Amino acid sequence: MTAADPSPADALNDFLISVERRAFKRTAYAVRDEDAALDIVQDAMIRLSASYAERPSNEWPMLFQRILSNATLDWFRRQKVRNALFQNMSDLEARMGGQDDNDLDLLEILAVDAVSTEGAEDTANRAEILKVIEQEIEHLPGRQREAFLMRYWEELDVAETAAAMGCSEGSVKTHCSRAVASLGKALKARGIGL
């Protein structure tokens, strides 16, 4: 490397600066939330720096675009699950009524379209309900909260959750069914119709 050649770290930094504005605009347009877009772009930049900094610089543009697309899709998946959770709580209780809790698949029950056409009042109501749900999740016992968040927020399957928690798949199902039942009761007690 000559005195005129930038260091690999400087080259990566220059590359990230060159794509930052376009990546932000693209992501903000996709998610329609500037704060979320900034988080997604920063996450993609960190992933590129952490995993691919040693790759040749001519590979960075395609790698970054793939990472950014995956990070955006991950954001939509998390939003879909979160939105579905408090949008369809009545469906959840109705379907739980006659089911064995161990057969409950919350992700299947809460399948909804990622794009919504709700009004401002609905958006505000959903935000308030989400706050209540998050508060109630904090009150769950530790193992129930951990299993619930891994399964329904992080979208891990039962086997992945069991491996991450160091327990059996049956324990994960038990923790999740108890968490869902506790959340349903707590939300009903706080006036959120189920």
What are the C-alpha distances in Å from 81 to residues 71, 113, 155?
Answer: 16, 10, 8
Give 43-107 as a DSSP string.
HHHHHHHHHHTTS-GGGHHHHHHHHHHHHHHHHHHHHHHHHHHHHSHHHHHHHHTTS-GGG--HH
Q: What is the pTM of this model?
A: 0.45
Least confident range of 20-29, 113-122, 152-161? 113-122
Which residues lie below 8 Å from residue 64, measured CB to CB, with a gap of 6+?
15, 19, 23, 44, 45, 48
Which residues lie below 8 Å from residue 96, measured CB to CB, with a gap of 6+?
104, 180, 181, 184
Percent over 90 (pLDDT), the chain = 20
All structural domains of the chain, each given as residue ranges with its CATH number in brackets, are 8-81 (1.10.1740), 88-189 (1.10.10.10)
Phi-psi region of 155 (alpha: psi -120 to 50; beta: other; left: phi over 0): left
Residues 79-91: pLDDT tens digits?
Answer: 877 766 655 555 5
Residue 98 pLDDT grade (very low, low, confident, very high; cuts 50, 70, 90): low
Residues 106-121: pLDDT tens digits?
Answer: 555 444 443 445 567 7
**What is the model's pLDDT at position 94?**
55
Is residue 21 exposed (0-12), middle (13-18) or buried (19+ Cβ within 10 Å)?
exposed
Residue 149 scores a pLDDT above 60: yes
